[in-house]
Structure 1
């Protein structure tokens, strides 16, 4: 009887583990200005970048809608794939005006439903960078955080509970009242990158002498402290780096691999690679399969929902990074 009970418990544990793994997400941002088609074998969700608040502050304008239709067509052969539209992005404005007025906010939420139905989408991703901040040279108001909460509630009410509602969040968890929106959102994509430029890491997992702002680990903890449970947090991973002194300020991973005359270095505290020039200067911060594998171990260990990356086209043609994310999340 004892052996039978142990066997039963073992099968239960296997079943629980399988379900937990099956529920993990891999979110890929796919842009309107690139042409590569994502492989559904390596992603669970596609966030199409971007849609924007229209000039009337009451609806959505979509960049390159034909590309969005191409992405949703992938669901015909991969019905489990989720395709969403991400509204916003750096420098995408008119959120503040839209969210401030009840009529505009409600019309915008209605248009979210229209877009979801018209393009056969699985939900809406809000990428307002960032409420109350005019850093991206967009309009802002001290009331933005409060109005952001009202906006998310309005969208949820219109699209219903069967569609996804997510958001992109800055690493330090500022600008958004996470406790207030937690009941209405499915998950949060933390933009755990762009936290430094050479000679600092932009996505170091832990702190080191090359940390300027915060680490990825500190970003996750900040979101938990702000009121978002780990089970609703998705870890952002960059498929690009930042360079200086002859290396582009924004450079895709596939371009980094083509660079000549630099030394590959590894920061064993921050758990990320970087490049040095022949003078020993730190000139490029980026991610590689090794750092991604460690990040995936980290997110699984903390009980996070999964991983997100910006953006699909930054990877190599054979998918070195996307394969690393997929295998790492699905261990």
Structure 2
């Protein structure tokens, strides 16, 4: 108990000492292999390309739509400050458990990560093995996954070197990964502070309210801090999509939400989140808009977080209303 208390005090001290100023803040945009939207490379310092996967042989990386990846990397010619990382994993992306459990396969995979970084001119690797130890995504798992995850991150760091970025995406509830043990190897953590509920509850409510079923965004961030990652290495996730009932659609991009008819926007002033109701005043869609995003960014600055991440760029309007809201608020 005493050791745990000392570790917490050290994290708090680090958070006071290390401040994130506006010039150091990060915006990470997930850009997918299956979309054809061309991102504005000046609206975000980082792009995470989704996705790469663990190969069927468990020893290398397979990339979806390499042509699209090359197009995204070419944006660095327009904005030389842009960083592009390959995100490996995602919902339903398997073979992690088998690969990470075998030292030979794990090392081979890590070395191939380094090869892909060099081949495509990338700035690092983002690991999206989101639920180690869990079969929730329909993939294989083991109780040893958490420990093996740490070994994997160590091997990737050794393979890509200290100058390249190594990041990861975590579930809102940080129970699948030993965050304290991976902290020495990573640059920052992208928290998936969304998908935490469905209507009639917010899926990404900033604060706890009567419409919060599980965690709020603030609670998720604090849990990550308590689990061993200082605030200046935490990135808040922001969804560019909503969760709806059957009449609206379970996953619905913001670009489609703004065109919905016969629904009324309401505002939860406690959770600082918008939602839609139908003509019977039934809560049918939980989502984010420019107002809620600004308040999320305000909390990012208040808590001294590294920045904000969003999934995904293609869910925004043609005018990039949400991406601009994040940029204007943080950078």
TM superposition score category, shorter chain reference? over 0.9
| Structure 2 counterparts to residues 229-240 of structure 1, below 5 A | 229-240=230-241
Q: Aligned-pair distance for 1:245?
A: 4.0
Q: Residues of 2 paired with 1:245 and 1:174: CA distance?
A: 30
- Using the alignment, how far apart are the partners of 2:72 and 2:246 within structure 1? 38
Matched residue, 1:225 = 226
Contact 2:237 2:310 in 1 (8 A): yes
Q: CA RMSD in A?
A: 1.1
- State the alpha-carbon separation in 1 of the partners of residues 148 and 286 from structure 2: 36
Give the 3-state SS of the residue equivalent to 2:135 in structure 1. coil
Question: Match of 2:3?
Answer: none
Q: Is the alpha carbon distance of 1:199 and 1:270 closer, same or farther for their aligned partners in structure 2, counting shifts above 3 Å?
A: same
Distance of 1:272 and 1:19 partners within structure 2: 26
Map 1:1-331; keep pairs closer than 5 Å.
20-330=21-331
Normalising by structure 1, we get a TM-score of 0.94
Task: Name 1:12's counterpart in structure 2.
Answer: none
Please give the alpha-carbon distance, in whole angstroms, between the structure 1 residues aligned to 2:214 and 2:38: 34
For 1:233 and 1:299, locate their aligned partners in 2 and report how far apart those are by CA, in whole Å: 9
Q: Which runs of 5+ in 1 are unaligned?
A: 1-17
**Secondary structure, in 3 states, of the residue corresponding to 1:313?**
helix
Query: TM-score scaled to structure 2, two decimals?
Result: 0.94
1:109 touches 1:154 (CA, 8 Å); kept in 2?
Answer: yes
- Runs of 4+ in structure 1 deviating by more than 4 angstroms, as ranges, are none
Write the distance in 2 (CA, Å) between the matches of 1:62 and 1:19.
33
Q: Highest Rg: 1 or 2?
A: 1
- For 1:49 and 1:141, how far apart are their aligned partners in 2? 25
What are structure 2's unaligned runs of at least 5 residues? 1-18
